[in-house]
Amino acid sequence: MTRSRKPETGSQHAMNAALRLLTRRDHTGFEIQQKLRQRGFAPETVRAVIAECERLNYIDDERTARIYIDQLLRRGFGFRRIAVELKKKGLQGGRFEDILEKQRAEIDEREIALRVVQKKMNSLEKEADCKKRRDKLYRFLDYRGFNRSIISELIRDFVE
């Protein structure tokens, strides 16, 4: 026996697509907006779906920002890089800067950089030229988004 389902409306289809995305991981409203538009949903449908998801607390940009910041810190990124990554996800503005500043006050960026340098030194030991080793370490830590004063301090401690 086959059951016939009611055909989905455009907004129901968009909501189902958004829910499928949100079951995998937290997404920002900006990310959901981009993904739904890529799938061809009308802008007004996308806005309605995002508003409904926010109302139901399925999308919470502040919660997502805190989780993402924690993930990036565990992966060994500095606060400059984290700020860039937040902007890519559409998380910018005063409230997100406040979340980042609160994390910055609670966590020692130098400790994270030190842990990253200790792991990286194994591969840098192969480089015989001290200047090349210093340059490689500087570029690596800069790419990771660490403060330049921290980078200079760690290079002095580990390379010279």
Tell me if 94 is assigned to some domain: yes
Question: Do residues 49 and 66 share a domain?
Answer: no
Are residues 16 and 43 both part of a single domain? yes
Residues 18, 38, single domain; the answer is: yes
Domain count for the chain: 3
**Does residue 1 sit within a domain?**
no
Residues 6+ apart with CB under 8 A from 59: 22, 26, 27, 28, 29, 32, 50, 53
**Is 116 contained in some domain?**
yes
pLDDT tens, position by position, 73-106: 999 999 999 999 999 999 988 888 899 999 888 8
- Please give the Cα distance from 18 to 51 (Å, whole number): 12
pLDDT for 9 equals 59
Q: Considering the domain boundaries, does residue 3 fall inside one?
A: no
One domain for residues 118 and 136: yes
CA triplet 28, 31, 35: central angle to 5 degrees?
145
For residue 46, the domain's CATH number is 1.10.10
Indicate whether 51 and 72 sit together in one domain. Answer: no
Angle between helices 94-106 and 61-74 (to 10 degrees): 40
Mean pLDDT of the chain: 89
Is 4 within the bounds of a domain?
no
Tens digits of per-residue pLDDT, 104-152?
888 899 999 999 999 988 888 887 888 998 999 999 999 999 999 999 9
| Residue where one domain finishes, among candidates 39, 55, 71 | 55
pTM, rounded to two decimals = 0.81
Together in a domain, 102 and 132 = no
65/31 same-domain check: no
Residue range of the domain that includes 93: 61-106
